[in-house]
Amino acid sequence: MSTTYVQALPDVRGRMSYTEFGEGKRRRDHLQNGTDRIAAQMGDMPSRGEFIAYCNGLHAVHPNMVNEGYELRVSWALDELNPGNPDDVQRGMEHAYLLCHELAPDSPCWVTMHVDGEGGCVHAHATIANHDCRTGQVINKDDTSLFAPRVQAVNDELSRKWGLSVIGADKDKSTWAEKRDSFEHDSFDRHLGDAVAKARDDASDIDDFKRINDTYGHLCGDAILKQLAEHMRTRLDPAIFICRWGGEEFLIILFDVTRDEAFGISEGIRKEVEQFPFFYNNVQFKCSLTLGLHTYREQDGIEESINCADKALYRGKRSGKNCSIWFENN
153 and 257 both lie in a single domain: no
End position of a domain, from candidates 112, 134, 161: 161
Q: Is residue 114 situated within a structural domain?
A: yes
For residues 3 and 155, give the distance between their C-alpha atoms in angstroms, rounded to a whole number: 8
Residue 65 Cα distances to 9, 107, 138, 142, angstroms: 11, 15, 8, 14
User: Quick check: is 137 in a domain?
Assistant: yes
Task: Give the separation between CA 248 and CA 228, rounded to whole angstroms.
Answer: 10
In a domain, 88, yes or no: yes
Mean pLDDT by runs of 10 across the 330 residues of the chain is 77 93 89 95 96 94 88 85 92 93 93 82 92 86 58 83 60 47 58 53 35 69 74 66 72 83 85 76 76 85 83 84 83
Q: 201 and 67: one domain?
A: no
Whole-number pLDDT of residue 275: 78
Cα–Cα distance, 258 to 223 (Å, whole number): 34
**How many angstroms separate the Cα of 78 from the Cα of each of 52, 53, 115, 123?**
30, 34, 10, 10
Four-CA torsion 169, 172, 174, 180, nearest 10 degrees: -100
| Domain annotation covers residue 238 | yes
Output the pTM of the full model.
Answer: 0.53
- Establish if 168 belongs to a structural domain: no
Q: What is the CATH number of the domain that holds 211?
A: 3.30.70.270
> Is there a single domain that holds both residue 109 and residue 220?
no
Residue 170: inside a domain: no
Please tell me whether residues 111 and 217 are part of one structural domain. Answer: no
Same domain, 201 and 143: no
Instruction: Kindly state whether residues 182 and 305 are assigned to the same domain.
Output: yes
* Single residue among 97, 130, 161 that ends a domain in this structure: 161
Of 167, 153, 138, 157, whose CA–CA distance to 65 is shortest?
138
**pLDDT of res. 241:** 76
Does residue 166 sit within a domain? no
Say whether both 244 and 156 belong to one domain: no
The whole domain housing 56 covers 2-161
Please indicate, yes or no, whether residues 151 and 228 belong to a single structural domain of this protein.
Answer: no
Number of structural domains, the chain?
2
Domain final position from 131, 161, 191? 161
- Position 243, amino acid: C
Q: Are 15 and 152 in a shared domain?
A: yes
Same domain, 60 and 104: yes
Query: Do residues 12 and 148 share a domain?
Result: yes
Residues 80 and 55 in one domain: yes
- The model's pLDDT over 67-119, given as tens digits with 9 standing for 90+, comes to 899 999 888 878 788 999 999 999 999 999 999 999 999 999 999 999 986 56
